[in-house]
Chains A and B, each alone.
Chain A
């Protein structure tokens, strides 16, 4: 970065050579007979100045861009590394647009700022100082006159900013309100089209547009009109340099060459200064530009001391587990249950009871806030995360497939899987659509290949898990619902996955898990009851109520009046 700044400064200083050459030329012809040799010399000086200045600038720019891209490179590596260390649950639901902004767009902004702002503000500052010193060295009185406009203009600018500050804050909130209203309006479009009455909403949205525009106009009037004046003054140096110079000339205390010097150099005095102010403004934006990146980098890494190794098999036990979300809400308030190896445990309960939260703690997508989860007697936080990941497989709502072939994705589950093994897994996962794809296992997925439906991706994910062959599976029954036409296939696949393994399943439709070894009924972050289906039924309570509601929903019909037979018990 130093080399770049030096080059940029050199360029700015060399830029003065043509100005100097012009001055010398003018002084020459004013005071003597024009001599071609002298003028040729001056032209040469100017040419030298231009060539070297531009050369230095282009080298400076190339260097600064290099430095900037390296910095961005380092930032992205840092980011990538960090993403591998933070709890997985934190970034689960990011859209690809948000990810894009995080990994691609925001770091690019850093590049723009570093590549331009740093060299230009450094060179602007130094050349501004240099020119100022030079002017004062030549004649302090004229120098004073030349620089006089600057503090006046700055003063006006400062007043304008102070006056505008309050308004800027209000503008931001008006802008946020406006953005929100617009987004809202469009996402509600289908409802507005059908229900015809969009009048009130439209009027409300139009009002935020009006409010926002009014704010902008108000700020323009208070702040920017001042800014406009500042703009004029900065460039109008010549208006005071000229008369002052003439007066000093008349008084005899100034000679013509010096007068000309100030006329030429002084008039251009403000340019580097303006540039520097602009660039410093850019630099101040760094913090804001990297908002999301910083948020990720500041997230503490998930502790993975990995001292104790995790046993191969064992009971999974929730011991008085409590979990609080980042925003403070208590999701689990003392959850206790045991999953014996090879058994099937179902988590049921009304929405918001904490079933998904509890399930997500098992693969440590988040860590418990209090209490502990043990596997084979060992606290899962004490064992290496890699160990846990090899014992546990989980299937939640978002299935991700890499772009690559089907085989590549299956090998994620088992790197050395043979073709036979893959085909078997696909069969068990009811993924018979794969052989029917254009290139079978070697078909490419993603933007440049085939796009799979939600249900098809689910079944591939199940096949992937079958290949991984973990001891414990955590799954969400809701994954079957995404594809109503292939629901049966997905359910069969889930069944194949669950065979001969320890299974913890989040269930929404109670009748699907009636044969579970243990049903844990949750409510408001606590375990309301647990036992087998018959045990729970006998005890009555929440489970019975949920079961009744579930049956009633299944049997209720859109056209009561047309139904002949009554529902079965």
Chain B
């Protein structure tokens, strides 16, 4: 067993063993137990109520059994009515009362837990470095917060209570019989033990077989998806019949494997139900023998037989529930992975000197051990200068920008802003110093004004308008019926690419940070948009330290410093004229860029 580290976040204890992909049933329960910490009391109480409700039901059944026993001994039924009515009344009331209390505590507890988990996760996620978010699809993170936590809620609200109920009655019956007729009670347990053992053995073997089958099925599924995705190409090149035949084969394969998988599953489940329910004829026989041998009184026989059903049939139906509970285990694992990710250690320095210089000193970085992107990179961008980074495609150029914004942490070396190591800066100080205009503009849903205000939330409306004007965005904003109050839709859907870019520029202008990181746009924009954006960018770059991943000739030409990144290192550096004269990588790169920009058909 690998060592498991347990962290405490916001009162919830998380199991930090992210390497374990599958947990055993018991480990699931333990993980769920830890997660539930702050609401544990209420949830446990709810389950106890559920057990008590079952107990009351058990009492009613026991009364029936005892009444039968007395009747068989010849007692007059009318004398039983009074006490029975009393007990039944109590039992019914007890069941209703505790049923209500159980549902209240388990459901409400589960929902409150869900709410707490979500808020805690939200808070925690905010503190995580960008590297965490960039290394996953944002959709996955959303799913954890919505679907996965919902599954955890249903675990506590429905699944566990039903398990308690399904186990509860047989358990009480067993305990009761253990006191009354220990030998028979032990005999009762035999079929259950055999059934469970056979199921566990079978499911272990199946798990291994199942994996193989699932892989094949995964392949068939991938083929089906590919065919559907490639429909455009298939029809454009007149291959419809051929590809549809291939698709039909993939669909068939998928079906056949599914059938096999189900066959494999139903056999052990049937066997479990069979052995469990075979307990009934088994116990009829055992008790019969005991009776004939006069080892037990008739009343005990009646007792045991009447309670058999209450014991065996809930158990037979248990398996489906357990499988479902395991599926929820997956959700718990995913939540754990999120909550045990480490937030970025920040420093104490709360402000930097106004001098916005950026220095890289022997920086090395890789997204993974085999994926080294920067090797021993050093350069200095003095305050109020323009540094252009160019080079062949690969993550190196944008990575430089990402490292300055501390989206990722350098593996070796140091990055300094205004002389201060960025790791010593507080989160506020760093974000105050740096503005980033990304290629994929990230906007928040809300109004245009909300988005520009992101640059400086306390800005006045005049300041917002001023920034928009300088970004050449004011005009198109005012052309919209609601102007600055226009809703931009999810992710800015209602705006065109050019409009989104200009809002991002306005945002950065409003912020007025000393350092500007720019990933130059390569998307196709119409000429009018392109012009406005180019002018906006020029406005942005005045009097600031600009570090730009450049694609435009004019930008590169104007740079105070050009860094040519190749093979993860700075191959050449200098200004345009010098580098051109050298006739190396830069010169080649320059002529190709020139060719591309001047291209005509």
A and B are partners in one complex rather than unrelated chains: yes
What residues of B have a CB within 8 angstroms of the CB of A182 in the complex?
142, 145-146
Binary contact track A535-556/B, C-beta < 8 Å → 1, others 0: 0000000000111011011111
User: A284: CB under 8 A from chain B?
Assistant: no
Stretch at the interface among B24-32, B304-312, B461-469: B304-312
Contact between A62 and B266 (Cβ–Cβ < 8 Å)? yes
Tell me whether B225 and A96 are in contact (CB under 8 A): yes
Q: In the bound complex, what is the Cα–Cα distance between A77 and B67 (angstroms)? A: 62
Partner of A65, one of B130, B262, B455, B497: B262
Q: Are A228 and B103 in contact (CB under 8 A)?
A: yes
Known: A184-B490, A186-B133, A213-B115. A194 touches B405 (CB 8 A): yes
Cβ B108 vs Cβ A394 within 8 A: no
User: Contact at A103–B224, with CB atoms within 8 Å?
Assistant: yes
| Chain B residues, Cβ within 8 Å of A69 | 255, 258-259, 262
CB pair A227 B103 closer than 8 Å:
yes
The docked-state distance in angstroms from the alpha carbon of A455 to that of B592 is 15
* Smallest CB gap from A248: residue in B: B77
Known: A34-B292, A206-B119, A264-B309. A243 touches B529 (CB 8 A): no
A58 at the interface (CB under 8 A from B): yes
Nearest residue (CB) in A for B521 is A481
Does B598 lie within 8 Å of A511, measured CB to CB? yes
User: What 1/0 flags go to B20-49 for Cβ under 8 Å of A?
Assistant: 000000000000000000000000000000
B527 engages A550 (CB within 8 Å): yes
How far, in angstroms, from A69 to B538 measured CA to CA in the complex? Answer: 62
Q: Which residues of B contact A450 (CB under 8 A)?
A: none
User: Interface with A: B197-205, B229-237, B349-357, which one?
Assistant: B229-237
Contact A34 B248, CB 8 Å, known A76-B224, A187-B491, A188-B443? no
Bound Cα distance A213, B507 (Å): 34
Closest to A54 in B: B274
For B454, list chain A residues within 8 Å (CB): 191-192, 195, 197
Contact A229 B546 (CB under 8 A): no
Which of B176-184, B326-334, B548-556 is the interface stretch? Answer: B548-556
A233: chain B residues within 8 A (beta carbon): 96
Q: Determine if B386 and A65 form an interchain contact, defined as CB atoms under 8 angstroms apart.
A: no
Any chain A CB within 8 A of the CB of B244?
Answer: yes
Within 8 Å CB of A552, what residues of B?
531, 534-535
Asked if B486 is at the interface (CB within 8 A of a chain A CB), the reply is no
B432 neighbours in A (Cβ, 8 Å): 196
Pick the contact of A242: B60, B305, B498 (CB < 8 A).
B60
Q: Tell me the bound Cα distance from A271 to B312 in angstroms.
A: 13
Q: Which residues of A contact B496 (CB under 8 A)?
A: 351-352
Given known A54-B270, A76-B224, A350-B526, contact A220–B81 (CB-CB < 8 A): no
Is A51 on the interface with B (CB-CB < 8 A)? Answer: yes
- Bound complex: CA A187 to CA B136 (Å): 11
Q: Which of B559-601 contact A (CB under 8 A)?
A: 559-560, 592-593, 595-601
Interface string of A58-86 (1 = CB under 8 A from B): 10011001100110110011001101100
Q: Among the listed stretches B6-14, B283-291, B374-382, which one makes contact with chain A, having 4 or more residues with CB under 8 Å of it?
A: B283-291
For the complex, what is the distance from the CA of A76 to the CA of B220, rounded to whole Å? 13
Q: Which stretch in B84-92, B208-216, B359-367, B412-420 binds the other chain?
A: B84-92
Contact of B284 with A344 in the complex, beta carbons under 8 Å: no
A484 touches B236 (CB 8 A): no
Q: Pick the contact of A29: B302, B428, B490, B542 (CB < 8 A).
A: B302
- Tell me whether B427 is interfacial, beta carbon within 8 Å: yes
**With A96-B225, A389-B236 as contacts: A43 and B274 at CB distance below 8 Å:** no
Known: A54-B273, A483-B393. A562 touches B386 (CB 8 A): yes
Instruction: Please measure, in the bound complex, the distance between the C-alpha atom of A87 and the C-alpha atom of B315, giving whole angstroms.
Output: 54
Closest Cβ of chain B: how far from A104's Cβ, in Å?
5
Q: In the complex, are the beta carbons of B442 and A402 less than 8 A apart?
A: no
What residues of A have a CB within 8 angstroms of the CB of B244 in the complex? 80-81, 84
Nearest CB in chain A to that of B431: its residue: A196
Contact indicator B491/A184 (Cβ below 8 Å): yes
CA distance A265 to B523 in the complex (A): 74
Determine if B190 is an interface residue (Cβ-Cβ < 8 Å).
no
Q: How far is the CB of A153 from chain B (nearest CB, A)?
A: 11
The answer to whether the Cβ of B71 comes within 8 Å of any Cβ in the partner chain is yes
In the complex the two chains form, is B284's CB within 8 Å of A39's CB? yes
Whether A184 pairs with B445 at a CB distance below 8 angstroms is yes
Could you tell me if A413 and B237 are in contact, using CB atoms closer than 8 angstroms?
A: yes
A99 touches B119 (CB 8 A): no
Contact A76/B251 with A236-B60, A344-B601, A485-B393 known, Cβ cut-off 8 Å:
yes
**Proximity string of chain B (510-527) to chain A, C-beta cutoff 8 Å, 1 when within and 0 when not:** 010000001000111111
A residues 307-364 near B (Cβ < 8 Å) are 344, 349-352, 363
Q: Does A406 contact B (CB under 8 A)?
A: no
B209 shortest CB reach to chain A, Å: 17
Set of chain B residues within 8 Å of A463, measured between Cβ atoms: none
For B441, the closest partner residue in chain A by CB is A191
The residues in A between 70 and 129 inclusive whose CB is less than 8 angstroms from any CB of B are 70, 72-73, 76-77, 80-81, 83-84, 88, 91-92, 94, 96-97, 99-100, 102-104, 111, 115
Query: Interface centre among B102, B146, B298, by most A CB within 10 Å?
Result: B146
Q: Contact check, B126 vs A202: say whether CB atoms are below 8 A apart.
A: yes
Known: A349-B526, A403-B226. A242 touches B64 (CB 8 A): yes
A50 at interface, CB cutoff 8 A: yes
- Closest-by-CB residue of A relative to B224 is A103
For A268, the chain B residues whose CB sits under 8 A away are: 309, 313
Bound CA–CA A491/B599 (angstroms): 8
Does B537 interact with chain A (Cβ within 8 Å)?
yes
A46-B280, A243-B81 given; A351·B306 CB < 8 A: no
* 20 pairs of residues in contact across A and B, judged by CB atoms under 8 Å: A34-B298, A39-B284, A40-B288, A53-B277, A100-B221, A111-B258, A179-B142, A182-B142, A183-B139, A195-B507, A197-B456, A213-B111, A239-B88, A240-B88, A246-B77, A263-B306, A481-B522, A546-B528, A558-B518, A561-B542
